[in-house]
Chains A and B, each alone.
Chain A
Amino acid sequence: MTIKLQAITVQGFRAYLAPQSFDLRPGKSLAIFAPNAKGKSSLVDAIEVFFSETGSLVRLGAKKSDTKAGPEALEHVLAEKKKIVPSIGLVFRNPPAAEYGEERQIKRPPAARPKIATDILKGCKHDFVVRGHELRSFVETQTPEERYTEVSKWFGLTPLVTAQKNLRTLRKKVTEMADDDKVLVARSADISKATVGGVTSLEEADIIKWINDVLLAALDKTIALGSLKRDDPGYLSIVEKKRIEDDALGLTALDELLTALRTVVDEKDGAVVGRARDFRAAITTLESAQESETNERAAAEKSIFAKIWLEAQDVLSNGALTLEQCPVCETPFGETPHGSRRAVSASVGQHLALLAAYRESVETLRKARAAAEHAHVQLKAAIGSLERLLKAGKYQTELAGLESYFIAVEAWKPADAPVDDTSVLPLLQGLRDKASGSAEAIRERQGEATFAGAIVKLNELRRIADSICEGKLERDELRKISEALECTVQRIDRDIAGHVASLLDGLRDEINRIYAKIQGGAAVKVGLESPDPEAKGKLKLGLVIDFADNRKGVNPAGYLSDSQVHTIALSLRLAAIKLFNPSFPFVVLDDVVTSYDSDHRKALAAAMAEEFAGFQFVLVTHDERFFRYLKEHMLAGEWLFRQITEMENEFGPRYMDHKIADEVIDTKLSKGESAANEIRQAEEEWLLAKAREFGISLRIRDVDKPYAYDRGEVATGIASFLKGLKIDTPILPGFSNPLWTSLQAGEVENFGSHFQDNPNATGSAGDEQKRWTEFKQFRELFKCKCGSARFKRPKVGVTKPLCHKCETPFAFQDPNGAA
């Protein structure tokens, strides 16, 4: 069985403000006719949004909230003011199951897609909403690349095409990255700066040559580098020369002493750091932890029965248990010092909390003690090194000042007070500054041409050379990745192209059947050419025809008319829906006959009836002739035809069968508001009803006339009918109603005065009131003597319409009585 749409309800959405429903039971198709800008496409929009994953329309986009052109555009502009919740409700039935429906509210952020829509779409591979404007752009403006994207969307292949495009774009980006030489240009500048313009290339050989010819030649011409590696014999030789150089100058000893001093005490960001300071901080933390542990121990002293209390608390706090006495000591609660079960329970809780705090302080103390011991070991090691270096050097005076501190540190134990370092730290800092100053002075005397300086320069050049090497290898790897991507792209393209080709093959026959049905005669053979998997350029979909024996596989745009190409696109969509949506035979057609002449409109209607039996359509059109043709030829029981007559911003589209009550007009006029549109509609409704009752055949107008009936035309029809029956329209003194005049003269009413064709144009309030009063008066003249306002068509042998109630032949009422 297949799913059928049973009803649509829309409110606060697009053109629809007030709630409006369309009952399509048991699965009727729906055709709506309206001129442009009357809200007919809003119903198509409602269906699209109901099924949309993003809760929006494709043409609006989902991410344009900043421009108010996104989801905001879905809400009727007055919905918020009128407190109408914008929503779309659809009801479905899949016989023999019962009806099921869901509502989708228009929200920001959008509400999730209704489950029913998701379920239906699972068996629905092709987008069933066909918009005329999309078809036109498909054939008229889209490039083969865009067409491929579009067709892929129709077939639900978008993720594949996106992947294809992404791979292609990525390959391009990777190639660009591989060709990007910004990093290497920067490194080249670094090399040039480091060699004072001596090297401008990125070649390692040039760098080594400069080091040997310029840097090392000035120091020792017997040393030369073979490479920039750290184990290069030349480099190792330089390192050894530097050590000898440092030893000779005393720099080695000074550097060692400085390192030892800085380990014990140093400065960083304005703060004193080093192991002496770490030790002092660790002891301070330890003291604090000891004090805290002592306090917590005292507080928890009485809480030694933790385990018993813990179990007692569980029992005491269990409201389900009836207890009269303490579960531990069996003392009745009333006789305990706390006096009640609740107070005993609270006391136990307090004790347990104290125990928890104590446990925490013990753990903190353990950690602080371990940290202090660690800091002590570290400081002792540093002091040992420092003491050895001071003894080896000529620092006996300084050593004497430090000895008592060294002894105190060595002897310190965790229970002891902190070692006083207040006088020692300045001494150590002074010693450090002195050693540092001596080293600096020696280096200054040495000048730049030293092995130490050469090593610094070599290290700098090595870093730059490494960066260059890394950059070159990265580019090389990117090129390899680009090549690998190229191969992957081609293989994936081939896979996807094969898939697309199989889809297109399956569709081709169906497209041609539908196309031939609509175009008739000797329709050309339509073909869709799959993208060439070997093509490395953009993905294209060829739309071709076999126009003649010597014009096969040619572009239709060069040979076919606009409507023929339009038919190709429409056939493609309809064929895809027919083949790919078997569980939901449903098609929405939004203005798809714009470019068709009368024969093509008829052919499309015939194709819908013959090729799509069992399908349900929702069709909107502004082509009245197509609408009327469908109305005449489609089975009435299977279709619902609705015609929008007006578009009211404060209501929504007004349909032809929407009756305007006299009260609505009377109320508006009494408030001083314009009721021109309502009066127009009331007149039309009354005239059409009367024409139907009388069985009047209206003359079919020329095709170049405006789209709609107008009341003058209907009035003329009634006038001709009455004249044929020799029933004169009475003359009413002072009565100037244009409709009445039209009836008398048998001419189309001239609307040029104040009831213009523009529905927004109005006459003065007085004019409107006068016209409405007169209309109601002459309406009375059409009543039967029995008071009935309804007539029916004449019977055989009777020429005049008969009263629906008493079957008296029609005659005008006495005008004097009516007046």
Chain B
Amino acid sequence: MTPQDPAAEQVAAQFGSPGLNAASVLAATVEKEKARKDTDLELIESLESTILRADAPDSVWEQTVAAIKKLALSRAKSRMENS
């Protein structure tokens, strides 16, 4: 099978965009997750801007942990206010 073979082209098409485009796959996976009824949407949106990004910077951990703590704290405060 050479690169010009129909079989190769078929495989290439199968695994071409977006099959091997990791960023697209990741984005689609996140969207799918967000669309679920039982998903913690706030959590996923928070992660979407931090660790669930294909181009996440090195400083992503600091942001992620801070975002999770903030989320937990705001929920705790809200529960206190409503109790």
A interface residues (Cβ-Cβ under 8 A, vs B): 2, 125, 155-160, 162-163, 166-167, 170, 173-174, 177, 466, 469-470, 473-474, 476-478, 480-481, 484-485, 487-488, 491-492, 495-496, 499, 502-503, 506, 510, 578-583, 585, 611-615
Bound complex: CA A226 to CA B14 (Å):
69
Q: Are B3 and A167 in contact (CB under 8 A)?
A: no
Q: Are B22 and A580 in contact (CB under 8 A)?
A: no
Cross-interface CB contact of A503 among B8, B15, B69, B71, cutoff 8 Å: B15
Q: Are B15 and A579 in contact (CB under 8 A)?
A: yes
On chain B, the residues within 8 Å of A177 by CB distance are: 65, 68-69, 72
On chain A, the residues within 8 Å of B1 by CB distance are: 510, 578, 611
Minimum CB–CB distance for A806 against chain B, Å = 51
B interface residues (Cβ-Cβ under 8 A, vs A): 1-4, 8-9, 11-12, 14-16, 19-23, 25-26, 29, 32-33, 36, 38-40, 43-44, 47, 51-52, 54-56, 60, 64-65, 68-69, 71-73, 75-77, 79-80
CB contacts between A and B, total, < 8 Å: 132
Cross-interface CB contact of A578 among B3, B9, B76, cutoff 8 Å: B3
User: Most B CB atoms within 10 A — which of A158, A159, A166, A485?
Assistant: A159
On chain B, the residues within 8 Å of A476 by CB distance are: 76
Q: Are A160 and B43 in contact (CB under 8 A)?
A: no
On chain B, the residues within 8 Å of A496 by CB distance are: 25, 29
On chain A, the residues within 8 Å of B56 by CB distance are: 162, 166
User: Most A CB atoms within 10 A — which of B12, B15, B19, B44?
Assistant: B15
Cross-interface CB contact of A173 among B65, B72, B75, B79, cutoff 8 Å: B65
Q: Are B22 and A159 in contact (CB under 8 A)?
A: yes
* CB-defined A-B contacts under 8 Å, sample of 15: A125-B16, A160-B26, A166-B56, A170-B64, A470-B73, A476-B76, A484-B40, A488-B40, A491-B33, A499-B25, A503-B15, A579-B12, A580-B12, A585-B2, A615-B2
Q: Are B4 and A614 in contact (CB under 8 A)?
A: yes
Q: Are B2 and A613 in contact (CB under 8 A)?
A: yes
Q: Are A473 and B79 in contact (CB under 8 A)?
A: yes
Cross-interface CB contact of A615 among B3, B51, B71, B77, cutoff 8 Å: B3
On chain A, the residues within 8 Å of B4 by CB distance are: 2, 582, 614
On chain B, the residues within 8 Å of A499 by CB distance are: 19, 25
Question: Contacts A491-B33, A503-B15 given: A582-B60 contact, CB under 8 Å?
Answer: no
Cross-interface CB contact of B80 among A470, A487, A503, A615, cutoff 8 Å: A470
Minimum CB–CB distance for B24 against chain A, Å = 10
Cross-interface CB contact of B3 among A125, A469, A484, A614, cutoff 8 Å: A614
Closest residue on chain B to residue A499 by CB atoms: B25
Q: Are B25 and A477 in contact (CB under 8 A)?
A: no
Cross-interface CB contact of B43 among A162, A484, A611, cutoff 8 Å: A484
On chain B, the residues within 8 Å of A615 by CB distance are: 2-3
Question: Contacts A167-B51, A492-B29 given: A506-B11 contact, CB under 8 Å?
Answer: yes
**Besides A177-B69, A581-B3, 10 other A-B contacts (C-beta < 8 A):** A160-B29, A162-B56, A170-B65, A177-B68, A484-B40, A484-B43, A492-B29, A585-B2, A611-B1, A612-B2
Question: Contacts A157-B22, A159-B23, A170-B64 given: A481-B15 contact, CB under 8 Å?
Answer: no
Minimum CB–CB distance for B31 against chain A, Å = 11
Minimum CB–CB distance for A166 against chain B, Å = 4
